[in-house]
Structures are given as structure tokens and as C-alpha cells.
Chain A
């Protein structure tokens, strides 16, 4: 278990001081995966460096299993770092050491005997599924394999806390998924407390139990992933929904953006909404998935006729929340999609 108490980090002094982290508080229980997300410059990497004790907080503390680590003197701080394993972005492996030798690094630093190092490294390399690559050099590994080495290295000293600092950034989606699966499995097998720092919302949906959003050094929103995803009033919940392009609605039909707003939306809700409204409902785009056993997602619909209020009421009946006219919703490239009603394909325009 790890908790942050009023963690503050400032750089500089006096009038020039910049507050990078502003009184952060959160607690991650044993076996929990806690994601911290936020835009570039929000303070994510500083937070990571405070959690793994590479940086000392200006005030406040990092408490691991009841012990305040951030106030330890320099010598004991080094020992304390060993209780927190860190998986870095792009693995950062030593280029002149093999995969095994990289994993052995923290053990060598600790002064473990060569025999014990061999045994432990063998165990770790099997656990991350890299047995055949044990004697490969980093340049011979794919991004995903290198990251597995990074994970094994982080686990070498049997830490109770695992910090992943943009650990999947820069990996392709399939590799990200496999790394995420590995982390989830390790969390279960080793009862790890995982702090997962990333800017990738898709990865957060795959891995997190709870999420916090960091903005300008402050936690602006936090909650359980499932709660956030099913709460249309939550900006973080909306940010977590995947954004895709969608097709144009027919002439005369309004475009509706609909999100799952409860945990018990029926699977055939489109037919039911159509029947209740007595008009055809066109599916223009959708992304639905199961997160922690709950169906969540969003859909873009073309609905002709009926009043907006009637549509809202019917949607609410099935645990959905809808907003008409999606001109403010970004397309796949993140750019706003112009409200095209016919002819052109908005999804493509949004991407261009």
C-alpha cells in the first residue's frame, strides 16, 4: 500500500518558485492498479520521481506500508528505493548488457551472490515470458520485449510497489495490450500495488481500477474507473471514452452522442429506443466494451423526428445519457468535426 500525503514539489525559491505538484493526496491499496493521467506538463513525471524517491518532495510525504520514506536521510533513501520497482518508458536498458544482465542490475547493486542472481534472474525472465531471449542484447529485442525486461528488472528486488512511468508510451496497441496483461497478471500473482502513470486514455481503460487526473500539479478528479466511465457528468469519464469518427446522419435526422450512464444498460437498447420512439434509429458510430464486468461505451446515433426531450427521456429509461448535435465532438484526429449532414463523410474530413 502506498499513500501520498499533501505531497508538494516546488522548483526554485521565493518569487520565482514554480509549484509543480500541489498538495497531492491519494492512497493505493495492495493489489490495486491506480492510474494517474493528465496532459503534458501536468507534473506526471515529477510525481513519478517523487514516488520512486529520485526526487525529494518539498513538503508532504510518500508513505509505503505505514513508513514515511520521503523524509529518510540520503543513505537510507537509497535502500528505501529498493522497495519500489520502477518501469520506465522505453525500458532504458543498458545497451552493452544482455537481457539477463540488465535484470540482474539491481541485484548486483544490492550485493547478491552470483549464484542467487542467476537463480532469481532465471525465475524473472521466465515470468515475463522471455526465456529464449535471455542472452539477447537490447538491440535484438522488440519494443515489447525490451519493456518486459524493464518490468523484470523492476521486480528483481521483490518490491511491494510497482511504479509504471509511461511504461507503454511509444508501444504499438497490440504490444501495449500484452504489456498491460502482463502487469495485471503480476499484480494478481505478486499482490503488487501499482501506480500507473500515463497520458494514454486507452491504456487507462485497459488497466486501471481507479483513476486520477492531474492538471497543473493538482488532482482535479479521481474515482473508480467504472464509476467514471458510467458518469456522463464526469469530465474525466468523458475523456476516458475513446473518440472515433462517425458517419453522417440522413437529411432531417439529428445526430445524438449517447454514453452509457449506468452499469445496467440492456444489450438491445438501440432496438428498444427505436421502438419506444417509434422512429428508426441509425447507428453512425459506436465503441462499446466491458470494463471490470460492466458494459460501457458511447454511440453516435441519427434520430429523425421526435422532440429532443422525448429522446432524452427514452435514453434515460435504459441508463443512457444523450446530447444532440455533436459538432463539438472531436473526430479521430482530435480536430473538431464540422456538422456535415449529408454527402461527405465527416470521419474522413475530421482525420484530414
Chain B
């Protein structure tokens, strides 16, 4: 039986060996995908910064001891953000498809990926901002109040101003997390480098593409980390000046 089986079934019908994408064609495949990833992460980061920063400031200041305490609002906000943070991204993405469709009119492609990525990213970044603000000594806020600052002025110059290095450090982590989310979003056809890795590298066993996407992602994450570290150093006078 085994002998018959082996001889009668051509190997090719079970496993068709395919040629990997030739190296020379990799740029044509990967560059547009990379562009899509950058676009996706870029759009998401703009939304996340625009919404997450004020939300983090709000969350910090409605908390007990904040500039305008609102315990009920703090509880509701905190709970919402925790829910957003606790869902694995894949599940969040799937569960809000109707919402995504309502916003963008579609549930596939880059536009559709931006919605769940922004929601998850806002929850993530709000916590990062809140955490950074918590590290600002309360005495600084007292000084700002005693100097006659309005709440808005105090939040801008004293709270956020002092927290900038910590926020940028968190932002670095956030960008890297968003690159990861964009790869997951690739599974709903969002495009991008993650999508190429899944369709070519994983589903078609194309080791060349897989290796190339891995290299690109590692290099990208390394670049973001180095850039983030530089930025943090540059906005921290002590680190900036003592290095020289």
C-alpha cells in the first residue's frame, strides 16, 4: 500500500514547490508595502497624539489631587481606557467591524485598519501621558498655581512641559507597538509590510520574502528606538548638555 501510494501520487499535487520571489523583484513588492505601513502608522500616530495627549491631561487632572477633580468622570474615563487596553488587538479589531464600517464605509484596507489602530493607540497613549504626568513633582504644580497660572497654562507649561521627555520615551514605545498592530491589521487586508509577510512569507512559504520583511521590521524598529532615544536626550537639558 505504501509503495503504491508513493508511486501513484505525484509529489507535486500535495506540495507544489514554488520559486521564491527573486531578490531582484523584492523592492517592487516590499517598497509599496513599506510605504503603506508608514502611511498607516503615520495617520494613526497623528490621531493618537491629537486625542491621547489632551485625554491623558484630562484623566490626570480629574483624578483626586488633580487641577479640577471630578471623581465620577475619572472613574468612567479610566474604566473605558482600561477596557480598550485589555482587549487583544486582533479581537478589538474584529469586534468593532460595524463601527469601522460606519466610520469608513468599508471593513478592509488601510482606512479600515486605521480605525481600530487609532482606538487601541489612543487608550495606550492616554495611559502613557497619564503616567508621564504623574512623575512631575506636585511642588511644580504648586509653583505654577502660585505664579498665577490658569489651568490651561499650568497643564501646558508645568505639567506637560516637565513631562515631555517621559512622553517622548513613551511615544517611542507607542510607535513600535503601532508597527506591530499594523502587521496584525494586515490579516484584514490592510496592506503594508505585515500583510506581505503573512501572505508571501507565511502562507506561501516564501522564505526570501519572510527574511526580507523581518530584516526591514527589525531595522525599522531599531531606527525608531534610536531616534526616540535621541529625541528624549535632546529635550532633557541635563542629558543634552552633560554629554558634550
Contact = CB atoms under 8 A, between A and B. Distances in A.
Interface of A: 49, 52, 54, 78-79, 81-82, 84, 86, 88-90, 92, 94-97, 105-106, 108-110, 137, 139-140, 153, 156-157
A73 B9 CA distance: 90
B147 A105 contact: yes
Contacts of B145: 54, 81
Interface residues of B, number: 24
A140 B142 CA distance: 23
A85 to B, nearest CB: 8
B148 A81 contact: yes
A139 B158 CA distance: 17
| Interface residue SS majority, chain B | helix
A109 B162 CA distance: 16
A110 B148 contact: yes
Interface string B8-36: 00000000000000000000000000000
Contact of B143 (A79, A88, A110): A88
A139 B238 contact: yes
Contacts of B140: 92, 94
A49 B141 CA distance: 13
B241 A94 contact: no
Contacts of A54: 142, 145-146
B236 A96 contact: yes
A137 B146 contact: no
B70 to A, nearest CB: 15
A78 B139 CA distance: 17
B207 interface: no
Nearest to B235: A96
Given A96-B161, A109-B147, 15 more contacts: A49-B142, A78-B148, A78-B150, A81-B145, A82-B148, A86-B143, A88-B139, A89-B139, A94-B162, A95-B162, A97-B161, A105-B149, A106-B149, A110-B148, A153-B147
B144 interface: yes
A95 to B, nearest CB: 6
29 contacts: A52-B146, A54-B145, A78-B150, A79-B148, A81-B145, A81-B146, A82-B147, A84-B146, A86-B143, A90-B139, A92-B140, A94-B140, A94-B161, A95-B162, A95-B238, A96-B162, A96-B164, A97-B161, A105-B157, A106-B148, A106-B149, A108-B153, A108-B157, A109-B147, A109-B148, A109-B150, A110-B148, A137-B241, A153-B147
